Copies of this chain bind each other. A is one copy, B any other.
Amino acid sequence: MKAGYFQFKPAFCKPEKNIEKINTALKDKDFDLIVLPELANSGYFFSSFDEVESASEEIPSGKFCKALRVISDEKNCAVIAGICEKAGDKYYNSSVLIMPGKDIITYRKIHLFYEEKKWFAESDTPFSVHSFSNKRVNDVKIGMMICFDWIFPESARTLALKGAQIICHPSNLVLPYCQDAMVTRALENRVFTITANRTGIDTNREGKELSFTGMSEIVNPKGKILHRGTIEDDEVVILDINPEEALDKNVNSFNNAFTDRKEEFYFK
């Protein structure tokens, strides 16, 4: 199947501009699965709830969701994107999974990073895995996590144990460790990982800057980096991958990443 990411710098609090950017970048591309960065509608570095409010939207009625729905329908593909979500009087750092003919699936980030705890509510959605089929692929299991979830090994492990073949990982990474760590996440769980990071710098109202590390990444179930992106460029990267490789949990003829787990010895 054709799977990949669009790495870019979301315009801060300008959802329409981000929709336009996404539409332009993906218009002539062919893919079955695309992953966009965390908070792809809004940008990242908020200074007030007014800013969060101005960039957020409800799922599924918001314009960002509707634009992604059009892409999904037209290309008969799965779209995963980070989104600044409004729900009642709360905001969530979420990602949506949009597939043709299906309701939008929402995952709300379980491990909030740094000042995100000021703006976003605690997650009430589990780590979840969803089946995707189209003309080219049948019943591929897609797992959802967001950015800082990576540092807790339980995140990817939970998704893998629930059957994920491809972990889709919208990110806004500011630390330099995750890209290397995702090799370990892929390898220990024998899954594909697609980390869609953003680029550029966000400056908040007080003039503080956050610089994002780009280098979006696709890793295979043997821990091979199939592609690592640039630090600064906008880029759409689509690779041919075989998700069935993630069904084989054998490390060698004696070892299996799942059946060799010795739960009786863990966490006591």
Contact = CB atoms under 8 A, between A and B. Distances in A.
Nearest to A153: B153
A268 B126 contact: yes
Copies of this chain, tallied across the complex: 2
B265 A188 contact: no
B254 A117 contact: yes
Interface stretch (A53-61, A97-105, A154-162): A154-162
Which bracket fits the contact residues of A? 35 or more
Contacts of A261: 152, 154
Q: Chain A's interface: helix, strand, loop or mixed, by majority?
A: loop
A268 B223 contact: no
Given A187-B151, A187-B177, A251-B151, A111 B157 contact: no
A216 B180 CA distance: 19
A75 to B, nearest CB: 32
Interface in A108-139: 110-111, 113-115, 117, 123, 126-127
Give 6 closest A-B pairs by Cβ, nearest first: A153-B153, A154-B266, A181-B184, A184-B184, A114-B254, A110-B262
17 contacts: A110-B265, A111-B262, A113-B254, A114-B252, A114-B253, A114-B254, A126-B268, A148-B255, A152-B188, A152-B260, A153-B157, A153-B184, A154-B261, A157-B266, A158-B266, A177-B223, A181-B188
Given A157-B267, A177-B187, A181-B188, 19 more contacts: A111-B255, A114-B253, A114-B255, A127-B266, A151-B188, A151-B251, A152-B257, A152-B260, A152-B261, A153-B153, A153-B157, A153-B184, A154-B266, A158-B266, A177-B183, A180-B180, A180-B183, A181-B183, A181-B184
